[in-house]
């Protein structure tokens, strides 16, 4: 029970207060409302880079654009391939495909739902330019193994860190792992301005290239339309940055609560027969928990969907997990490998299984009370007990 007494009244999302209000007013008072005139985007980038241990951050319009821009400065384009998890949000592949490159779906680990090392190794070809680990729900992918693979093959890593604000791997922050990382600030993400995104860089040249490209190829001080490169307009506005500076300030406290609640909820879920919570790799020593995920192995997609509907009806913000990307119609528009969906499915049995048997709960659940974790597990056990087997 929380203060209101209702077991399923979880905190709202997004959360905001005087800090966000002050950020918006600061943005209003800037000499201009785009980043070239105001100071909020610049300040946010400094703060976000420092928070993640990166040399540079570049704020952009959204997480999909962050991935696209990061891939572009890493040399991804026509004739190249990028390895992506088959189990992820569609944008991981879309960003590759928008650049005229091929997105190659590869299977994930059944426990962490992150890129599988052996499957990644098997998918590397002479055309592979980059590999994109997705830190699923905040669980950092095996960056040791993937780092070794990438170095040996001479390919780049771009981390899809859309779920991983503030995550750590062996105590190292996302920006300290030696590769470009892309973040999202979309409404549901762990910090948000409704929309928004960012890249972090260890490398000065990649950052400079990305800065030019995110602003139609124009250097910061250009007054004579000397566009030095191509690119697009991916600039973030001052208002969003003002809000994001406040949101960054909430992250540590919220992450600490979510880590505690997940430790409890995960134990309770694991006690329910037929429920397997997402596993954690102990090397990921700070997990911000973008989702509370669990599998119902062998349940089948239809019954899984019915369980989700029943959880929602009982007040638990539950969702069916991502559909494997090769099962999405849009994936086949362009930039798909020269394989059929069934051939990819055969290579990616774990992604197929997870997309049919996995459920996730909104992270606002993990901002609830300890009692609410017991209530959620209790409701799930009841729903599984009462839902027909077939
Ligand atoms: C949200 C998300 C994105 C895209 O971010 P947007 O800001 O919505 O464009 C990319 N990858 C993953 C894994 C995501 O969850």
pLDDT (tens digit, 9 = 90+) per residue, 104-152?
A: 999 999 999 999 999 999 999 999 999 999 999 999 999 999 999 999 9
Indicate whether 42 pLDDT > 60.
yes
Sign of the CA dihedral 159, 163, 167, 168?
A: negative
250-385 belongs to which CATH class? alpha beta
Please, what is the angle between helix 301-313 and helix 349-357, to 10°? 30
Helix, strand, or coil (residue 106)? strand
Residue 186 designated active-site: yes
Q: Is 183 in the pocket of ligand 1 (CB under 6 A)?
A: no
Helix, strand, or coil (residue 207)? helix
pLDDT (tens digit, 9 = 90+) per residue, 243-254?
A: 999 999 999 999
Residue 117 designated active-site: no
Domain ranges of the chain: 18-246, 250-385
Mean per-residue pLDDT, 38-57: 98
Please, what is the angle between helix 18-28 and helix 238-270, to 10°? 160
pLDDT (tens digit, 9 = 90+) per residue, 183-229?
A: 999 999 999 999 999 999 999 999 999 999 999 999 999 999 999 99
State how far the Cα of 229 lies from the Cα of 35, in Å rounded to an integer: 19
Residue 312 CB neighbour total at 10 angstroms = 12
Residue 263 CB neighbour total at 10 angstroms = 11
pLDDT (tens digit, 9 = 90+) per residue, 295-328?
A: 999 999 999 999 999 999 999 999 999 999 999 9
Name 126's Cβ contacts closer than 8 Å, sequence gap at least 6: none
Q: Is 61 in the pocket of ligand 1 (CB under 6 A)?
A: no
> Right CATH number for 18-246 from 3.30.1370.60, 3.40.640.10, 3.30.70.100, 3.30.465.10?
3.40.640.10
234: region left, alpha or beta (phi > 0 left; psi from -120 to 50 alpha): alpha
Residue 234 designated active-site: no
CB of 186 closer than 8 Å to CB of 196: yes
State how far the Cα of 27 lies from the Cα of 107, in Å rounded to an integer: 44
Rounded to two decimals, the pTM is 0.97
């Amino acid at each position: 029970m929380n203060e209101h007494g209702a077991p399923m009244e979880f905190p709202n999302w997004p959360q905001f207060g005087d800090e966000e209000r002050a950020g918006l007013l600061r943005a209003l008072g800037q000499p201009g409302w785009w980043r070239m005139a105001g100071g909020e985007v610049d300040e946010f980038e400094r703060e976000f880079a420092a928070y993640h241990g990166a040399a540079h951050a570049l704020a952009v319009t959204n997480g999909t654009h962050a991935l696209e821009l990061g891939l572009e400065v890493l040399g991804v384009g026509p004739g190249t391939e990028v390895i992506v998890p088959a189990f992820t949000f569609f944008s991981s592949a879309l960003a590759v495909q928008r650049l005229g490159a091929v997105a190659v779906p590869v299977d994930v680990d059944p426990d962490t739902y992150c890129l599988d090392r052996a499957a990644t190794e098997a998918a590397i070809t002479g055309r592979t330019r980059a590999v994109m680990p997705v830190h699923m729900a905040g669980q950092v992918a095996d960056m040791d193994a993937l780092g070794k693979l990438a170095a040996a093959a001479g390919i780049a890593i771009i981390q899809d860190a859309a779920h991983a604000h503030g995550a750590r791997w062996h105590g190292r922050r996302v920006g300290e792992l030696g590769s470009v990382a892309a973040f999202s600030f979309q409404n549901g993400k762990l910090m948000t301005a409704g929309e928004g995104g960012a890249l972090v860089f260890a490398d000065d040249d990649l950052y400079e290239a990305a800065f030019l490209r995110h602003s139609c190829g124009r250097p910061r001080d250009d007054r004579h339309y000397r566009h030095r490169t191509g690119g697009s307009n991916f600039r973030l506005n001052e208002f969003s940055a003002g809000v994001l500076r406040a949101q960054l300030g909430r992250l540590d406290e919220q992450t600490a609560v979510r880590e505690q609640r997940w430790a409890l909820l995960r134990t309770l879920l694991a006690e329910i027969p037929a429920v397997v919570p997402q596993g954690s790799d102990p090397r990921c020593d700070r997990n911000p928990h973008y989702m509370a995920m669990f599998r119902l192995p062998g349940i089948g997609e239809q019954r899984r969907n019915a369980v989700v509907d029943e959880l929602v009806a009982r007040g638990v913000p539950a969702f069916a997990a991502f559909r494997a990307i090769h099962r999405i119609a849009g994936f086949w528009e362009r930039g798909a490998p020269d394989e059929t969906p069934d051939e990819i499915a055969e290579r990616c049995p774990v992604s197929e299984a997870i997309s049919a048997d996995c459920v996730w709960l909104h992270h606002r659940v993990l901002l609830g009370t300890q009692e609410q974790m017991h209530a959620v597990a209790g409701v799930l056990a009841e729903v599984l007990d009462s839902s027909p087997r077939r």
